[in-house]
Homo-oligomer: A and B are copies of this chain.
């Protein structure tokens, strides 16, 4: 049975990485001491080693050890041996390109659908949707496909951002962008504000954290959902 946390961000403003969600992670990863970390998204372009070290120091707070997938000879095989997986944030295009290049997509789907606990934050959450087409990231590399893991039957927009009042910038708001998405795609999008996450347990999908989320369905007005709402029927 699927056991997944899909978090908007690793870090909330003023906080330390993952501190706002550490209790949940203790529960998510209760049956494993070691977590396989996938650092492919490389935030700010940092190396896989540096990123993995940073995450290891966070997980040491709950007595977990962390090993980076790049430390294994065969990334795809490493996934099949993992007892818990974390895919961190950074650039989604870089992440998805690397997952395809290292033939990780199929095994990730298989492992997580069979119940290996999975944590995604930011880019690592975006790939839990059907496609990466609602990422906020810059397309700095060209991935072989925008199709992602489909752990939920909709798309994720992490770091969901409400329109900035009195902004004089003429770029599109996040809502406008997601509405444009629905001119070419029909599946729903869940905009997760920073500090929110989706908890997936088997076929149950629940919004957690203290904030509302914003849901965009094809041919409907966007709407807000309260925390603890179940999204099991959203397809």
Contacts and interface: CB of A to CB of B under 8 A. Distances in A.
Interface stretch (A5-13, A65-73, A108-116, A199-207): A5-13
A147 to B, nearest CB: 9
Q: Is chain A's binding surface mostly helix, strand, loop or mixed?
A: loop
B179 A45 contact: yes
A194 B170 contact: yes
A175 to B, nearest CB: 11
B138 A146 contact: no
The contact size tier of chain A is 35 or more
Nearest to A93: B139
Contacts of A138: 133-136, 177-178, 180-181
A44 B161 contact: no
In this complex, the member of A42, A146, A170, A176 whose beta carbon has the largest number of chain B beta carbons within 10 angstroms is: A170
A90 B181 CA distance: 12
